[in-house]
């Protein structure tokens, strides 16, 4: 068998493994041996490094998902999503695609490391799964995930029924995503729908646009004196800048 790899002196993994050799194996042992599934053996090590090395910036989970939904109908699976891409309070893209191809009969929504909805059809029939960032999954008849999950799942729970027709299922998906768009500030723009059956896949972009920006009908400028000023009081304020925070946007 391959010999365990010893980290060099000064490497944080070496210090951690020597301190807790009875509790946790070093993270660098036996390189090159693949292991299936999810591994959480570095959680304690990361917590130790974060508490020991002051100023260490550990990676944080990225939150880029907004509203994605899916349901099983009589002939297959219907997936739906909004089209707004956000980075914190910045709208990065107003019309992005969130339904992506995996295989001829499988599509997924979301991004690896975020919440996923995986739907497809095989010889046993339609299947729908929700996959959480920490690795757990559920086999469901309908589901919703993302920041607009709450209002979307409430619509699905209220109106879903087994063996829905294509028209009923597609309308319900559109209404669920619309609920997420209208309730969640991160969700927005259009509703995309993907229908997966034994016959193939059909993607429909911008099936619905729930919140259309209205255009100004005319000029709203009023001449000075239109509204009478009854009383005016000016109070000077002494302001002191305590802290200035600048938000940067990641473009990669």
Query: Is 245 marked active-site?
Result: no
* Below-70 pLDDT ranges, the chain: 1-40, 59-64, 105-113, 244-252
Residue 225: per-residue pLDDT = 84
Q: What superfamily in CATH does domain 68-208 come from?
A: Aminohydrolase, N-terminal nucleophile (Ntn) domain (3.60.20.10)
Q: How many CB atoms lie within 10 A of CB 44?
A: 13
Contact between 96 and 85 (Cβ < 8 Å): yes
Residue 250: per-residue pLDDT = 54
Please name the residues in contact with 160: beta carbons below 8 A apart, sequence gap of 6 or more: 71, 141, 142, 172
Residue 241: per-residue pLDDT = 73
* Long-range contact pairs involving 134-142 (C-beta distance under 8 Å, separation at least 24): 134/38, 135/37, 135/38, 141/71, 141/72, 142/69, 142/70, 142/71, 142/72
Torsion, Cα 138 142 146 150, to 10 degrees, reads -120
Select which of 66, 67, 86, 143 is catalytic.
66
CA proximity to 151, closest of 180, 190, 186: 180
pLDDT tens, residue by residue, 44-102: 887 888 888 888 877 666 666 789 999 999 999 999 999 998 877 788 889 999 998 88
Residue 20: per-residue pLDDT = 39
Q: Domain ranges for the chain, please list them.
A: 1-59, 68-208
CA proximity to 69, closest of 55, 80, 58: 80
Residue 232: per-residue pLDDT = 92
Q: Residue 155: in which H helix or E strand, if any?
A: helix 149-159
Backbone phi, psi, residue 59, to 5°? -65, 140
Residue 158: per-residue pLDDT = 96
């Amino acid at each position: 068998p391959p010999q365990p790899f010893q980290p060099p002196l000064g490497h944080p993994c070496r210090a951690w493994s020597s301190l807790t050799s009875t509790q946790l194996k070093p993270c660098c042992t036996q390189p090159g041996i693949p292991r299936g599934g999810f591994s959480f053996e570095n959680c304690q090590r990361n917590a130790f490094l974060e508490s020991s090395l002051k100023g260490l910036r550990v990676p944080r989970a990225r939150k880029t998902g907004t509203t994605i939904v899916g349901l099983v109908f009589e002939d297959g699976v219907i997936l739906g999503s909004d089209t707004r891409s956000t980075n914190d309070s910045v709208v990065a893209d107003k019309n992005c695609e969130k339904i992506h191809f995996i295989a001829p009969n499988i599509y997924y929504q979301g991004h690896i490391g975020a919440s996923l909805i995986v739907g497809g059809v095989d010889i046993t029939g339609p299947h729908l799964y929700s996959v959480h960032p920490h690795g757990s999954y559920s086999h469901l008849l309908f589901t919703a995930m993302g920041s607009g999950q709450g209002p979307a799942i409430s619509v699905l729970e209220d109106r879903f029924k087994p063996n829905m027709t294509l028209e009923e299922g597609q309308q319900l998906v559109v209404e669920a995503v619309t609920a997420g768009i209208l309730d969640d500030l991160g969700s927005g723009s259009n509703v995309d729908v993907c229908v997966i059956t034994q016959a193939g896949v059909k993607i429909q972009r911008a099936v619905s646009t729930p919140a259309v920006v209205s255009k100004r009908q005319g000029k709203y400028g009023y001449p000075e004196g239109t509204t009478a000023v009854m009383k005016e009081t000016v109070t000077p304020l002494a302001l002191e800048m305590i802290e200035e925070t600048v938000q940067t946007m990641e473009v990669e």
